[in-house]
Amino acid sequence: MTVTLNPLYRFDTLVVGAANRLAATAAKAVAESPGTVYNPLFVYARPGLGKTHLLMAIGHAARAINPRLVVEYLTLDEFVEAFHAAIAAGHGDAYRKRFLDVDLLLVDDVQFLTHRREMQAELLRLTDALQTASRQIVLTSDRPPADIEALDERLIRRFAGGLIIDVAAPDYETRVAILRRKAEERRAGFADGVLEAVGSLDIDNVRELLGALNRIIAFQAVSEKPLTAEQARMLVGGEATAEKAERTERTETTERSDEQPSPSSPSSPSSPSSEFDDFLSEIAATVAQQVDAWRTRVSAAILRWQGEGFRTAPLQALLEQEMVNDPERALREFEEDVERLQALQADAAALAPELAGSAAFRDPANLAAAEEALRQAREEGPPPPPPSPLWRLDGFVETAANRVVLEAVRAVAASPGDRYNPLVLVGGAAVGKTHLLHAIGNALADREAPVACLSAPEFTGELIEAIDRDAVPAWRARYRRATAFLLDDVHLIAATDRTQDELFVLFNALMDGGRQLVFSAAAPLAELTGVEPRLRSRLEGGLVVELPAPDAAVRERVLSRDLEAKLGAADPELAAYLAARPADSIRASQALLQRVLEAAAARGVAPDVALAREVLEEPAAPPPAPPRAPGRSSGIVAAGPSATRSREKMVWEWPDVADRVVEEWR
Amino acid sequence: MSLVNFTAREITCKIVYYGPGRSGKTTNLQYVYGRVPESRRGRMVSLATQTDRTLFFDFLPLELGTISGFTTKFQLYTVPGQSYYNATRKLVLQGADGVVFVGDSQARRFDDNLESLQNLQDNLLAQGVDVRQLPVVFQYNKQDLPGDLILSQEEMDDALNFRAVPSYGADALHGSGVFETLRGISELVLRRLAVGSPVA
């Protein structure tokens, strides 16, 4: 789509005369340092006066200076075509991005922007973006911007903010110079005065001039004698000659009669108002530059703040306006708002780190929302930790032994804060305290959020972090707005003075608010050491229930469920056998099942009772020598038959006697 | 006078041509007047004596049309050069956004130039305006006279333009340098738009 630059259209092939000297100089300046001077450069001239030549010459020269420069030349029609194709394909953004990566954009024939509002808006956006990024845009047209019908006023100003320059028709000398150069290129020789005669004709279009040259070259090629000046003149256009002669005479007469000029009718070869027009055009450019300088500043500010993630609607609204009363003040106010937002955001982030990216702190036009968010953060902090969704009440196996506990739990779930408050679940390791605690939490969370459910060490850890961040009030507020508070392993707060103080205060606050509290403890409360009596007495004030160790019936039901989940079919016999094996917790029984499943997998057979017996009852064969780890290691894998109460506390193997000796010696 | 009126969207520049008597200030304005299309110029007011000397001042309003959304107007004034009209000069100088000092290049008018420049500085100072803060350009008129009668542009610069502001050689009668000077002072004045705080 993009036209390759015509290799013949270079500065060294451009004949520079009085009519195009300014344009050529500006074009060279642009080519030498794109984006720094005259941006955008707008060149206008009637057809056939070398606009395209100038445009492509800029491209060639800029590339010669910096070969890595991305130069794109296209006509407005191509620009429009590409835009429509991109929009039709839904790639409008890609289209914009494509031009934003161009260092030097050369757009020919922009007069066709007439009545194309959509393209005008697109070009305006592009011009702004390129200018902001210090990239050069050069445009040509057959008329000045102000004369392009229905052209957006803002575009006119953008162009005026750079440099608008025209290329006039070549004068006699330039015409002759062009003819000579072209004749030389064509290796056509002419008698003296021939080219001058053609040059003196009233042809002020370079294309037509070259057409005239073609005619005399063709004529001379077929004639026996060299062409004379008079013949050439007649050949190309006798009438034009007469007109020209007449005009020359008229000019000379005028000049002679103006030797004594009066100030009110001043003399000059140029028309009376041209000096004023030149003056006006320069003044307009200066005013546009000065007045529109604020647009550049606003655009830069928009890019900057958008880059930092802030909304810039107020600044964008400024750009939409023709002129604002005081752009500097608007910019200053916006920046003050942004600074205020940043301060609010920093405060909020100190309270709750996840608020740092909150949208409430991104809109300078809505400081109130940010202040409200900070106020909430101060008052509430982020939601307290929720219960784990893995543990549900219906997943807890009910037996005769734990029925009392489950009834209490159901009562709490049905009417939190009403009947058993606090509820304290007591039980040994791996009897299902945590499962039940989180299950209650989930049941309550289903009713109304937020529910705080965490372990005592996590609670202590959060407090320490809050002290460290100097955000204890926010941390407190976070828990106080919980509709229920469930703390696992409350015995682990032993010897933590500050945590116990905080828990005590929180306990009272929540109780006063009628919120449900649930705790779990590894031992009966009376046996807990290191827990302050005032806290203990409050825990005892509710309902304390003991979770029994799971009996064989519970274990069998859990194992049946596990087997069904893992094998896809229930095996009641195997489940019953495994449940009957000595184990003091569900987890220990599950470990036995795991061993059987692994053995079955190793042998490639289906797990059954026989295999289980073989694996679990036969004296353990010396395990195959495990691959030695580079260092000493011990694996805690499964429960032994007795001796230890849970597998966490049992050592499965000592890999090396020497290690064991060292261990004992220590 | 406000330079830029954002509320009325108006830019008004008052430019005063200052200089010794007979240096060509009015000629400058007349030349400009002759080049401005009728639709753009107001009536040129000249209060002159019978011998064609400016008695009070010349005033030429120029409507430059709407530029960047602003109705842009230039008001060109001259002051009477003769030393006894200092009260009028002070009056005209009030609220000037820029000054063109039209110097007479004739060697015999050298002292008149110095005196007038001194007078300009005194009058500005009396109005609390620091000449260093005000846009000023120099025009050395009558550069078309025979070389032995006049000082060159460089010599005039040496004598008057010690702050190295823009200066232009001119032949105001034939228009040479007139618009260059006007353009120069206009640029200086308008460039203050960017740095000067807008006044409502």
What ipTM describes this predicted complex? 0.82
- Which residues lie closer than 8 Å to A267 by C-beta, 6 or more apart? A255, A258, A261, B174, B175
State which residue of chain A sits closest to B178, comparing Cα positions: A275
- Is the CB of residue B19 less than 8 Å from the CB of residue B172? no
* Separation in Å, CA A603 to CA A292, A563, A570, A597, A622: 84, 18, 21, 10, 18
Q: Please tell me if residue A273 touches chain B, with a CB cutoff of 8 Å.
A: yes
CA A268/CA A99 separation, integer angstroms:
46
Opening angle at CA A99, ends A97 and A101, nearest 5:
75
Q: Residue A128: pLDDT band by 50, 70, 90 thresholds?
A: confident
- In b/e form, how buried is each residue of A55-87, taking b as 16+ CB within 10 angstroms? bbbbbbbbbeeeeebebbbbbbebbbebbeebe
> By three-state DSSP, how is residue A607 classified?
coil
Q: Is the peptide bond before A353 cis (omega within 30 degrees of 0)?
A: no
Q: Is residue B177 domain-resident?
A: yes
* Separation in Å, CA A651 to CA A374, A531, A634, A664: 52, 31, 7, 14
Highest average pLDDT, of A163-167, A222-226, A300-304, comes from A163-167
Secondary structure element (H or E) that encloses residue A424, with its range: strand A423-426
Q: Is residue B200 domain-resident?
A: no
Which domains are delineated in chain A? 11-167 (3.40.50.300), 172-249 (1.10.8.60), 288-380 (no CATH), 393-546 (3.40.50.300), 552-665 (no CATH)
**Average pLDDT, stretch A565-594?**
80
CA A545/CA A432 separation, integer angstroms:
13
- The total number of structural domains that make up chain B: 1
Q: Please tell me if residue A514 touches chain B, with a CB cutoff of 8 Å.
A: no
At A485 the pLDDT is 92
In chain A, positions 145-174, which contact chain B (CB-CB < 8 Å)? 153, 157, 160
At A415 the pLDDT is 83
pLDDT of residue A527 exceeding 50: yes
Q: Is residue B40 domain-resident?
A: yes
State which residue of chain A sits closest to B180, comparing Cα positions: A279
List the one residue out of A488, A472, A468 whose CA is nearest residue A480: A472
Tens of pLDDT along B142-171?
999 998 999 999 999 999 998 999 999 999
At B154 the pLDDT is 93
- Is the CB of residue A422 less than 8 Å from the CB of residue A520? no
Indicate yes or no: CB of B68 within 8 angstroms of CB of A324.
no
In chain A, positions 279-338, which contact chain B (CB-CB < 8 Å)? 279-280, 282-284, 286-288, 290-293, 322-326, 328
Q: How many residues does chain A have?
A: 666
- Is the CB of residue B136 less than 8 Å from the CB of residue B99? yes
Dump the DSSP string for A509-564. HHHHTT-EEEEEESS-GGG--SS-HHHHHHHHTSEEEEPPPP-HHHHHHHHHHHHH
Q: Is residue B48 domain-resident?
A: yes
Q: Is B106 exposed, middle or buried (0-12, 13-18, 19+ CB in 10 A)?
A: middle
* Separation in Å, CA B173 to CA A93, A178, A234, B200: 60, 38, 44, 39
Tens of pLDDT along A216-241?
887 777 677 788 888 888 777 754 44
Q: Is residue B158 domain-resident?
A: yes
Sign of the Cα torsion A570, A574, A578, A581 reads: positive
Q: Is A204 exposed, middle or buried (0-12, 13-18, 19+ CB in 10 A)?
A: middle
Tens of pLDDT along B30-69?
899 888 888 777 777 766 555 555 556 678 888 777 776 6
Between residues A158 and B136, the one the model is more confident about: B136
**With pLDDT > 70 as the criterion, what percentage of chain B qualifies?**
85
Q: How many residues does chain B have?
A: 200
Tens of pLDDT along A357-400?
778 888 888 888 888 888 877 766 667 888 888 888 887 877 77
pLDDT of residue A563 exceeding 60: yes
Residues of the domain holding B118 = 4-195
**With pLDDT > 70 as the criterion, what percentage of chain A qualifies?**
81
Tens of pLDDT along A606-635?
888 888 888 888 765 555 555 555 545 444
List the one residue out of A365, A360, A331, A338 whose CA is nearest residue A348: A360
List the one residue out of B24, B60, B29 whose CA is nearest residue B44: B60
Provide the 8-state DSSP code for A620. Answer: P
CATH of the domain at B94: 3.40.50.300
How many alpha carbons fall within 13 Å on the CB side of residue A499? 21
Q: Is residue B163 domain-resident?
A: yes
State which residue of chain A sits closest to B188, comparing Cα positions: A286
**Average pLDDT, stretch A491-512?**
86
List the one residue out of A528, A525, A523, A481 whose CA is nearest residue A506: A481
Q: Please tell me if residue A264 touches chain B, with a CB cutoff of 8 Å.
A: yes
Alpha carbon B110 to its chain's center: 19
